[in-house]
């Protein structure tokens, strides 16, 4: 089963996005331990779309239950291409004097979900980002390491 | 939904979800604190990169005047986020029991 909804391009939509994920997790009996990582990844990708695109179109979010977890797709309309999977990691070893707020969102999602795919259609000017979170793709800390960025580029 | 206020022990208690929509309220509160401050995160369920930005900005300001922000009652999920973002190197973090 797939659930989808469109959300106004505003930070104010974030609580409604979380309401959708909570509703789907409950109705589809998806492991609630996966929900914080799914919410965080959705928030980071959605706020990126809000901040960096001039489009006024709503963003569509689809959620589908998959074995052991969930697959989520965000579709952004009338936009320029921006492949989130190619964004560089943040340098988390900098001393605090050199660290600046921001730049951590895409760095974090690589470590939280099993995989992230990006597609762009030049004809329709649509960006589509799909990620998957399952019990099998435990977060890096569950495996005792934080070096888990490669799977985000699958 | 997010709440942030001083607890009876003088610590700052933050509860709920620190997402991008809630950051302005959290930042406005933390901009008022001075010295060394403990942020009780035992009822903080969620933090995104926007929320991390609020904590980093506060830590930089407090350290600039010989203070600091300490994080207590940090649950497993938040601890993961702090490690992935390198915040375990710039904050004193006390996990939840």
pLDDT at A143: 40
Given the candidates 3.30.750.24, 3.40.50.620, 3.50.50.60, 3.90.400.10, the CATH classification of the domain at B2-95 is 3.30.750.24
| pLDDT tens digits for range B21-42 | 999 999 999 999 999 999 999 9
pLDDT at A101: 84
Beta bridge partners of residue B36, listed in sequence order = B68
| pLDDT tens digits for range A59-100 | 999 999 999 999 999 999 999 999 999 988 999 999 999 998
Cα A141 to Cα B33: distance, rounded to the nearest angstrom: 32
Q: pTM score, two decimals? A: 0.89
Residue A50 pLDDT greater than 50, yes or no: yes
DSSP letters, A114-144, are: SEEEEEEETTTTEEEEEEEEESSS--GGGGT
- Could you give the ipTM of this predicted complex? 0.90
Q: Show residues of chain B in contact with A37, CB under 8 Å.
A: 77
Sort A7 into a burial class: Cβ within 10 Å, 0-12 / 13-18 / 19+. buried
Has domain A2-153 been given CATH number 3.30.565.10? yes
| pLDDT tens digits for range B26-83 | 999 999 999 999 999 999 999 999 999 999 999 999 999 999 999 999 998 899 999 9
**Beta-sheet strands, E only, within B1-97:** 2-6, 12-18, 36-47, 68-74, 92-95
* Contact of B82 with B56, CB cutoff 8 Å: no
pLDDT at A138: 60
CA-based nearest residue to B20, from A34, A40, A23, A106: A40
Domain ranges of chain A: 2-153
| pLDDT tens digits for range A115-151 | 999 999 999 999 999 999 999 986 544 443 332 333 4
Pairing of strands B36-47, B68-74: parallel
Q: Flag if B86 and A92 touch (Cβ within 8 Å).
A: yes
Domain ranges of chain B: 2-95
In chain A, the residue whose alpha carbon lies closest to the alpha carbon of B90 is: A96
Confidence of residue B95 (pLDDT cuts 50, 70, 90): confident
In chain A, the residue whose alpha carbon lies closest to the alpha carbon of B44 is: A36
Residues 6 or more apart in contact with residue A132 via CB below 8 angstroms = A66, A69, A70, A71, A72, A113, A114, A115
Dihedral sign for Cα atoms in the order A37, B31, A99, B13:
negative
């Amino acid at each position: 089963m797939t659930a989808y909804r469109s959300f106004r391009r505003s930070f104010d939509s974030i609580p409604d996005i979380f309401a959708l994920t909570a509703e789907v997790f409950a109705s589809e009996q998806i492991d609630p331990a996966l929900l914080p990582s799914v919410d965080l990844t959705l928030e980071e990708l959605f706020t990126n779309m809000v901040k960096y695109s001039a489009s006024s179109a709503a963003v569509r979010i689809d959620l589908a239950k998959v074995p052991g977890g969930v697959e989520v797709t965000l579709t952004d309309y009338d936009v320029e291409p921006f492949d989130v999977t190619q964004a560089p990691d943040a340098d988390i070893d900098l001393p605090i004097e050199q660290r600046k707020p921001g730049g951590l969102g895409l760095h974090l999602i690589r470590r939280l979900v099993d995989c992230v795919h990006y597609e762009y259609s030049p004809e329709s000017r649509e960006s589509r980002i799909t990620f998957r979170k399952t019990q099998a793709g435990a977060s890096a800390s569950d495996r005792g390491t934080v070096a888990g960025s490669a799977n985000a580029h699958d | 939904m997010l709440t942030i206020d001083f607890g009876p022990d003088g610590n700052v208690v933050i509860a709920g979800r620190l997402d991008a929509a809630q950051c302005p309220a959290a930042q406005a509160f933390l901009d008022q604190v001075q010295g060394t401050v403990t942020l009780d995160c035992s009822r903080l369920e969620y933090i995104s990169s926007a929320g991390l930005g609020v904590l980093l900005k506060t830590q930089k300001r407090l350290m600039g005047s010989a203070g600091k922000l300490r994080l207590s009652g940090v649950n497993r999920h938040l601890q993961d986020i702090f490690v992935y973002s390198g915040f375990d190197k710039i904050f004193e973090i006390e996990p939840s029991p």
